[in-house]
Amino acid sequence: MKAHNEELSIHALPQSLEESFIAHVKSFYVDESSASLATQQQEGATAVVDLAAEFEKFGTDSQIEHCARVIGRLSDIQVRDFALGSHNRNSFQTYWSMWHYLLQIAPTGFVAPVACLFATLAYERGDTTLAFKALDRATQDQPNYSLSILLRRVFGSGWPAGAFAAMRVELHPKVTAGIFG
C-alpha cells in the first residue's frame, strides 16, 4: 500500500516490452471483420470477470496468459465497454489493482483501453490528477482514441464522479445484452 503522499506509478513495466508477451497479447486482438467476432467478444467479457476473480486471490501473481487475453480482447470496443461496468462497490479495489497492473504491462498499441478503464476508477475514487495522467498514457498510445477524448471532456467538465458511476452502472446491462444476446 502506498503512503498517502506517495504517487502511484502508472509507467510501463519491463513485461510490456517482452517480445513473447507482446506476441501473446496480439494473438488475442479482436478483428472487427472476423467471422468469430461475437465469440471473441463473449470470450473477452468472460475473461475480464474471470481475471478479476483470479486477481482477487493472486493479485499480480495471476497467470500472465490470462492478463494477455484480457489486454488483447480489450481491443474490441464492446469488450472494453463491458469492462467499464464490470466492477461494483465490493469489487472496486480488486478492479483498481487489476487495471493498474494491466496498464503497467500493456504493450504499445494496447495501452489506451486499459488506461481509460483505470482513469475511470481514479476519477470515481476522486483522484482527478491520476485520472488525467492515465488519459495521458492512453493518448500517448493512441492519440485519437475516442474514449480517451470523451473522458477528458467529462473529467474536465467537473461532472460529479457519482453521476458518472451511475451512468456506467446503468449502461452495463445494455452492453452485456449486446455481447451475450
pLDDT tens by residue, 45-61? 999 999 999 999 999 99
Q: How many helices (H) and strands (E) does the chain have?
A: 9, 0
The model carries a pTM of: 0.95
2 has a pLDDT exceeding 60:
no
Amino acid of residue 175: V
Residue 20 has a CB neighbour count (10 Å cut-off) of 9
Higher-pLDDT residue of 5, 143? 143
Dihedral, CA of residue 55, residue 58, residue 63 and residue 64, to nearest 10: 70
d(CA 90, CA 43): 24
The C-alpha atoms of residue 57 and residue 4 are separated, in whole angstroms, by: 25
**What is the predicted pLDDT for the residue at 6?**
58
Q: What is the pLDDT of residues 55-105, one digit of tens each?
A: 999 999 999 999 999 999 999 999 999 999 999 999 999 999 999 999 999
Is the pLDDT confidence value at 143 over 70? yes
